[in-house]
Amino acid sequence: MQNQEKVQGSIKNNIVATELVEERSKCNFDQEEMYRIYYSNPEIRKIKAKADFNAANDPIMKNTHKYYEWSPKEIQENWMKKLQRAWKVDKEFYFKMRPHA
């Protein structure tokens, strides 16, 4: 076993903890295959991709590491802003559409 320095993870600084990297390397299945099985329906994959894109790129809908430091009231206010933004961006997609399973 190598004696290397352990690194603590940080969402803020985009650093993955050493322990997490080690555990991920022990995975005994193909993660991409698992994703394709879990999201086997192409329509569901397309919906997920759109939601993921908005969550990563929209300044209001984007997730933040600050979430873990907020009070319950601040978390609730943030979710209300996200819901209002989702309504403005595409209410059909976020509130009315129901994909076929």
pLDDT digits (tens, 9 = 90+) for 7-33: 887 777 778 888 888 888 888 888 888
pLDDT the model gives residue 52: 92
Place 3 in a pLDDT band, splitting at 50, 70 and 90: low
* 4 domain residue, yes or no: no
* 67 domain residue, yes or no: yes
* 79 domain residue, yes or no: yes
* 11 domain residue, yes or no: no
* 46 domain residue, yes or no: yes
Q: How far apart are CA 99 and CA 97, in angstroms?
A: 6
* 10 domain residue, yes or no: no
Q: Which two structure tokens, joined as six digits, stand for 76?
A: 């609730």
What range does the domain containing 44 cover?
A: 18-96
* 22 domain residue, yes or no: yes
pLDDT digits (tens, 9 = 90+) for 57-95: 999 999 888 888 999 999 999 999 999 999 999 999 988
What distance lies between CA 41 and its chain's CA centroid? 20
**Tally of structural domains, the chain:** 1
